[in-house]
């Protein structure tokens, strides 16, 4: 007896799902039922689940899942309603398809991508003046007139991708967005994002955080980012389990995103960052380590002891406006006072480390290994003439 095995509830819609794996298939299968979580609906879903289990046992499983889809009353394609002239071309509307596409993608990609990208598209989709696929040109025109060029281009491409999946899944006869895709708008240059601070500017920023009346708690994080060049999410996810007893080796094997969800590193590669005995970085970690630290304890947290996010770092670095009042960030404040000649985003901590590591004479392949990137990326973004030609103080 399977009981409620395979059956779960979608945390976003609170509707029942069937998730399962089949031997011989690498992916997890997911079927959206469209039914609310009630006692009666669970009986219906169990019946469908049992039919799938029987097909698997009899080796007649349909990997397209078309045989197992839940269809709304009156929408069964096998039943002709009215004459052929009144029959709709598309069985589902755009919102239906996007929900089904999201359910499918949840088995294929990171949950963080679902939360950041697919949920955002869903919000835009709900605002559309029509959900009808027959009116795809009207949807495209509304996006062009009510969003930015970039957002309109992104959404139309997302809808086209969704409908292409629906065609391959035999849910719709064709992709109405295929011929509506637009030319990608030219993006703004991001060259400034790859500039690095000089060592004097780096040390000034660290000093300001050390003595800042509001943000001194985050001084150790800022030092760590500048001295390792690691991605911010990787630092947010570090626990004392990842640090050797002598604090000379840092294992970087996971990341924490804006939703405070743990995932693998950006490129999925685990690495160990070496720390010289007697270095500032080793001393920092030795000072931070609690006398009886639990191995799962986060190294860097906010002032309340919670996991950090990029929003927190952005707030202390750049500042924020809340309830009509602007709170200055430590680095932005230095620029406004003329103590820094230009403003760079928080990710400049990584660029600064990589640039000066190369300037000090370390090979690009060694720097690439330290920061978990490719040699090509290091050579392309972290060799800045305006910095490399400067005098090089003690790194």
pLDDT at 110 (0 to 100): 60
Residue 326 predicted with pLDDT over 70: yes
Q: What does residue 262 show for φ and ψ, rounded to 5 degrees? A: -75, 140
Tokens for 205, please give them.
């920023």
CA dist 364 → 147, 226, 231, 389 (Å): 42, 18, 18, 17
Higher pLDDT, 227 or 82: 227
Under 8 Å between Cβ of 59 and 66: no
Q: In what order do the strands lie in the sheet with 29-36?
A: 7-9, 15-20, 29-36
Q: What is the pLDDT of residues 276-293, one digit of tens each?
A: 999 999 999 999 998 877
Q: What is the pLDDT of residues 57-112, one digit of tens each?
A: 887 888 888 878 886 544 444 333 344 444 578 889 999 998 888 888 777 656 55
State how far the Cα of 17 lies from the Cα of 103, in Å rounded to an integer: 9
pLDDT at 270 (0 to 100): 87
User: Among 29-38, 268-277, 308-317, 375-384, which stretch is predicted with the lowest mean pLDDT?
Assistant: 375-384
State how far the Cα of 359 lies from the Cα of 37, in Å rounded to an integer: 60
User: What is the DSSP code string of 91-150?
Assistant: SS-HHHHHHHHHHHHTTTS-HHHIIIIIHHHHHHHHHSS---GGGHHHHHHHHHHHS-HH
pLDDT at 191 (0 to 100): 46
Instruction: For residue 209, give the 3-state DSSP assignment.
Output: helix
Q: What is the pLDDT of residues 167-210, one digit of tens each?
A: 998 899 999 998 887 888 776 554 446 788 999 999 999 999 99
Nearest to 253 by CA among 262, 244, 261, 245: 262
pLDDT at 84 (0 to 100): 43
Q: What does residue 93 show for φ and ψ, rounded to 5 degrees? A: -95, 180
pLDDT at 133 (0 to 100): 94
Higher pLDDT, 266 or 93: 93
pLDDT level of residue 1 (50, 70, 90 thresholds): very low
Under 8 Å between Cβ of 367 and 378: yes
Rg (C-alpha) for the chain, rounded Å, is 27
User: Among 54-68, 113-127, 366-380, which stretch is predicted with the lowest mean pLDDT?
Assistant: 113-127
pLDDT at 370 (0 to 100): 93
Residue 151 predicted with pLDDT over 70: yes
Higher pLDDT, 267 or 217: 217
State how far the Cα of 379 lies from the Cα of 395, in Å rounded to an integer: 20
Tokens for 310, please give them.
């990029």
Residue 330 predicted with pLDDT over 90: yes
Percent of the chain with pLDDT over 70: 85
pLDDT at 254 (0 to 100): 87
Percent of the chain with pLDDT over 90: 44
Q: What is the pLDDT of residues 7-50, one digit of tens each?
A: 999 888 889 999 999 888 888 889 988 888 888 888 888 888 88
pTM value is 0.56
pLDDT at 379 (0 to 100): 84
User: Among 132-136, 312-316, 358-362, which stretch is predicted with the lowest mean pLDDT?
Assistant: 358-362
State how far the Cα of 164 lies from the Cα of 173, in Å rounded to an integer: 10
pLDDT at 249 (0 to 100): 95
pLDDT at 388 (0 to 100): 43
């Amino acid at each position: 007896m399977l009981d409620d095995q395979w059956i779960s509830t979608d945390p976003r819609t609170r509707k029942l799902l069937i998730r399962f794996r089949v031997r011989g298939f690498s992916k997890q299968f997911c079927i959206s039922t469209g039914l609310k979580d009630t006692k009666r609906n669970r009986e219906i879903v169990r019946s469908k689940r049992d039919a799938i289990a029987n097909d698997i046992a009899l080796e007649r499983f349909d990997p397209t899942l078309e045989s197992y889809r839940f269809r709304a009353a009156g929408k069964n394609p096998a039943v002709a309603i009215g004459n052929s002239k009144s029959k709709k071309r598309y069985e589902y509307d755009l919102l239906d398809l996007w929900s089904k596409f999201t359910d499918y993608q949840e088995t294929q990609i990171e949950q963080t991508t679902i939360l950041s990208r697919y949920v955002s598209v869903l919000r835009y989709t709900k605002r559309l003046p029509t959900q009808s696929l027959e009116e795809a040109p009207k949807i495209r025109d509304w996006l062009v007139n009510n969003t930015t060029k970039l957002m309109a281009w992104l959404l139309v491409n997302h809808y086209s991708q969704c409908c292409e999946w629906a065609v391959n899944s035999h849910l719709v006869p064709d992709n109405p967005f295929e011929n509506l895709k637009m030319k990608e708008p030219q993006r703004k240059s991001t060259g400034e994002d790859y500039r690095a601070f000089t060592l004097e500017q780096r040390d000034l920023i660290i000093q300001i955080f050390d003595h800042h009346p509001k943000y001194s708690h985050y001084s150790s994080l800022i030092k760590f980012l500048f001295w390792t060049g690691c991605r911010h999410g990787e630092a947010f996810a570090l626990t004392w389990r990842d640090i050797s007893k002598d604090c000379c080796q840092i294992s970087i094997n996971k990341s924490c995103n804006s939703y405070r969800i743990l995932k693998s590193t950006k490129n999925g590669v685990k690495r160990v960052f070496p720390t010289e005995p007697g270095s500032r970085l080793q001393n920092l970690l030795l000072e931070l380590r609690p006398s009886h630290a639990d191995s799962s304890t986060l190294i860097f947290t906010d002032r309340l002891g919670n996991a950090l996010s990029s929003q927190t770092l952005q707030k202390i670095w750049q500042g924020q406006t809340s309830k009509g009042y602007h709170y200055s960030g430590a680095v932005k404040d230095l620029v406004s006072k003329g103590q820094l000649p230009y403003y760079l985003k928080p990710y400049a901590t990584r660029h600064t480390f990589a640039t000066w590591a190369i300037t000090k004479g370390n090979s690009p392949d060694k720097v690439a290994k330290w920061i978990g990137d490719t040699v090509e990326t290091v050579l392309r973004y972290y060799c800045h003439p305006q910095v490399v030609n400067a005098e090089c103080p003690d790194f």
